[in-house]
Amino acid sequence: MPMFYIHQSSCISPQQTFGDVDIQLLHSPKDQQLKIIEPSYTGIPPGVLRRMNKAVRMGMGAALPLLHQQPAANGIVIGTANAGMEDCFYFLKQMVEYDEGLLTPGSFVQSTPNALAAQLAMLSHNNGYNITHVHLGLAFENAMTDIGMLLNENPANQYLLGAVDDISSYNYALNVLAGWNKKETAVAEEWFAAGSPGSIAGEGTAMFVVNRDPLNAVAKVRAIHTVHSTDIALAQQQLKEFLNKQLIEREKVDVLLSGENGDERFLKCYNAYEAEVPGDAAIFRFKQMCGEYPTATAFALWLACYMLEQKPIPSHMLKRPSGEREYKNILICNNHRGSQHSFILVSAPGDLPVA
């Protein structure tokens, strides 16, 4: 039994993934950052839009079109690590500057990670389950796990699942000081050959309508596994056991979507992941498209849905080709800062009738 089926998805990223999707052209970073291509946000009232910070704005832009679909969602589950950070710092700075006097209420309201889920509920009049998971590099994975448990309890329900993270100027400065981001100018195509520490900062949001109904689904999420460890051998063993448990006889991984990010310190980790997939499996990398951020696996899941619809895959993603022309089982492997590993198995929904 899969965890859930994905029926619709929406993604706002540094590439052309929203509206008329075209990911063949790769947009390169500017000032060592990959920032989103912002749409016009036609579904958000202008008065409300002006008061939104970037994370809430792009999350709303991606989610509202899905929430207006029928049947209505029974709840909203979001994963994030840094959403609201910019307003949090701004509000704390105001407290010091104005000696806790006249402060901007908007910054206070949007300074918490759950601001997006809350505003989505208010604008769509959704009174169902509403929660935000904030677990650094496993925030989205925990949101997915929560959705799986909700659907075990309520198999007839439908939920909005999503993730959002933006490049906060404060967070970016701290990450540079900590050595997580590259200091030198990097062209996207040269990331993986740079041989230097750090990656390129990224941001983005992806939203999904999920339920337990296979009819007309675009993908099914079969299982998720996470590992907290700096021991690469342990993570590799856990991945091997995960695949042995989830893949039935004569099944194999057709595609590995690798979170390799150009940071030489973690290349051994991604090499270990690659060792656990068949030699004829294709390997694609995705972070040259979205950059490095804690919930980048949501972008990878959106890409997996795109690939399972048998759409053309850009050559700039390819690390190792495959003889397969159709992909049925996609494995997403990601590592966040050396200690948080996640494995997501996504498959085609099967030979199903079309309504």
For residue 110, the model assigns a pLDDT of 60
Q: Using pLDDT thresholds of 50, 70 and 90, give the confidence band for residue 170.
A: confident
Query: What is the helix (H) or strand (E) element at residue 235, kind and residue range?
Result: helix 232-246
Domain(s) labelled CATH 3.40.47.10 in the chain stretch across 4-211, 219-347
Q: Using pLDDT thresholds of 50, 70 and 90, give the confidence band for residue 186.
A: low
Cα–Cα distance, 285 to 261 (Å, whole number) = 8
For residue 354, the model assigns a pLDDT of 36
In percent, the amount of the chain with pLDDT more than 90 equals 68
To the nearest 10°, the Cα dihedral for 261, 265, 270, 272?
180
Query: In this model, does residue 353 exceed pLDDT 70?
Result: no
Q: Using pLDDT thresholds of 50, 70 and 90, give the confidence band for residue 108.
A: low
Span 232-276, pLDDT tens digits = 999 999 999 999 999 988 899 999 999 999 999 999 999 999 999
Closest C-alpha among 112, 120, 102, 44 to residue 81: 112
> How large is the average pLDDT for residues 70-81?
92
For residue 111, the model assigns a pLDDT of 57
Q: Which two tokens stand for residue 302?
A: 């959106």
Cα–Cα distance, 327 to 349 (Å, whole number) = 12
Query: 225 forms bridges with which residues in the sheet?
Result: 343
Q: In what order do the strands lie in the sheet with 340-347?
A: 129-133, 75-79, 158-165, 204-211, 4-12, 219-228, 340-347, 329-336, 255-258, 282-285, 318-320
Q: Which two tokens stand for residue 138?
A: 């496993």
Looking at per-residue pLDDT, the higher value among 105 and 142 belongs to 142
Query: 6 forms bridges with which residues in the sheet?
Result: 210, 219
> How large is the average pLDDT for residues 38-52?
84
> How large is the average pLDDT for residues 158-180?
91
Q: 242: helix, coil or strand?
A: helix
What lies within 8 Å, CB to CB, of 55 at 6+ separation is 80, 82, 83, 84, 86, 115, 116, 164, 165, 166, 205
Query: In this model, does residue 197 exceed pLDDT 80?
Result: yes
Q: Which two tokens stand for residue 309?
A: 């619809």
For residue 355, the model assigns a pLDDT of 34
Architecture of domain 219-347: 3-Layer(aba) Sandwich (3.40)
**Scanning the structure block, which residue is given the tokens 């063949």?**
24
Query: In this model, does residue 5 exceed pLDDT 90?
Result: yes
Cα–Cα distance, 296 to 303 (Å, whole number) = 11
For residue 14, say if its preceding peptide bond is cis, omega within 30 degrees of 0: no
Cα–Cα distance, 304 to 144 (Å, whole number) = 15
Closest C-alpha among 52, 75, 31 to residue 210: 75
Q: Give the Å distances, CA to CA, from 15 to 18, 107, 290, 314.
A: 8, 28, 7, 12
Looking at per-residue pLDDT, the higher value among 98 and 274 belongs to 274
The number of residues making up the chain comes to: 355
Cα–Cα distance, 217 to 274 (Å, whole number) = 28
Decide if domain 4-211 falls under CATH 3.40.630.10.
no
Q: 248: helix, coil or strand?
A: coil
Whole-prediction pTM: 0.92
Cα–Cα distance, 322 to 244 (Å, whole number) = 21
Of 115-124, 218-227, 317-326, which one has max mean pLDDT?
218-227
Of 102-106, 137-141, 172-176, which one has max mean pLDDT?
137-141
Query: In this model, does residue 228 exceed pLDDT 90?
Result: yes
Query: In this model, does residue 156 exceed pLDDT 90?
Result: yes
For residue 99, the model assigns a pLDDT of 61
CB 120 within 8 Å of CB 64:
yes
Q: What angle do CA 34, 64, 20 make, to 5 degrees?
A: 55
